Amino acid sequence: MVKIGVLALQGAVSEHVRSIEACGAEAIAVKSRSDLALVDGLILPGGESTTMRKLIDRFDMLVHLQQFAAKGKPMFGTCAGLILLANKLVGYEFAHIAALDATVERNSFGRQVDSFETTIEIKNVAVDFPAVFIRAPHIVEVGDNVEVLASHGGRIVIARQENILGCSFHPELTDDHQITAYFMEMVKESLAKKANV
């Protein structure tokens, strides 16, 4: 069975676990470097990116998360997770994991009170996915090797770069598991490539 981890330091962990299990994969809460070694792919959940980064540093996980991506293991960041994955952040000198060749702007859809839900078409995933935006970032621009999968209001909200998937919104807060299933296929593809090497 495919093993998909959820970085379980802060944020919407249980919701992602529920979605992973609904797709037929094993979900593992990743709280340490040793947990990271057990999984075939990793989800970075929505939450508070600054708090997450502090906890990543506290548990000495940053380099190991970067190595996880560098090895070609799939990573999927939602909302705060997208911020952690981007290699450039508007208004900030430093990035975090920096695995996704994209510039991201934090809180670009407004504050908590400006949260909203809409339906969007996502290339290769869904025709009308229910996207929940909560203090959401957006992708300002992407590198040449990044594929834009969907935009909303002229802003890029989900994109993929080989083994890295990042989105602005919270798919785990809905009962639609199509994006999680798409990520699970990315993980299966990665495992198949490794098996053929």
> Catalytic residue numbers?
79, 170, 172
- Residue listed under structure tokens 């952040």: 89
| Other Cβ atoms within 10 Å of 70 Cβ, number | 10
d(CA 161, CA 100): 7
CA distances from 138 to 38, 52, 80, 133, 169 (A): 31, 18, 11, 10, 9
DSSP state of 125: T
